Structure 1
Amino acid sequence: MHLIQLLLPLCDNEGHPFPQSMYLQVRDELAEHFGGITTYLRSPAEGLWKEGKCCAVRDEIVIYEVMAKELNHDWWKEFRERLESLFRQESLIVRASQIELL
């Protein structure tokens, strides 16, 4: 079993918030495809990373999680690329971990 997490920004690179409809679209597509989804929306997480040697960049994000028996790398690559276009990002984090249900 795999746990797949998507980290989605709340705002574009100029600080303008994305409309809620974009998140609902992604949520609904994932729920339909995987049969369920967990969303972390109440208090956004914060991402922090360095660009170059001098600048720290911050992002407020929401996290979506789905579980899948099999990990289809081609499907996820295409989906990530669509999200990068939708959210106008150079790259988005989509990560997977192998998990064991207890």
Structure 2
Amino acid sequence: MHLVQLLLPLYGQDGARLTPTLFAAVRAEMVERFGGLTAYSRAPASGLWAQGEGERVEHDDVVVYEVMVPRLERAWWKTYREELTARFRQKELVVRAQRIETL
């Protein structure tokens, strides 16, 4: 079993807040394909990063959507991440997976 997490930004690269319909579409797609999801959206997580030493620190407020999948289809997730990156108007969007054991 794998846990896949999608870190979805609340704002586009231009600083404009992204529309709720973008998030609703991802929720619907995850539920349709995987039968459910968990959304951490009440208090957005805050991400900070610098591209290199001395570079300006970037900031993003994100919500996290996660699904449990029995088999990790890497090619599908790569294509989906690229699609979400375009939809959410980002240079890069994080989708990560980890192997888990359900108890």
Q: TM-score, length-normalised on structure 2?
A: 0.96
Letter in 1 for 2:45: A
Structure 1: runs of 5+ lacking an equivalent: none
Structure 2: runs of 5+ lacking an equivalent: none
What number of residue pairs does the alignment pair up? 102
Aligned to 1:91: 92
Is 2:75 aligned against 1:74? yes
Superimposed CA distance per residue, residues 70-94 of structure 1 (whole angstroms, 9 cap, x where no aligned partner): 0000100110010011011111100
Give distance in 1, aligned partners of 2:4 and 2:90.
Answer: 19
Give distance in 1, aligned partners of 2:90 and 2:29.
Answer: 20
Aligned to 1:29: 29
Compute the RMSD of aligned alpha carbons.
Answer: 0.7
Question: After TM superposition, where is structure 1 displaced by more than 4 Å over at least 4 residues in a row?
Answer: none
Q: TM-score, length-normalised on structure 1?
A: 0.97
What percent identity do the matched residue pairs reach?
48
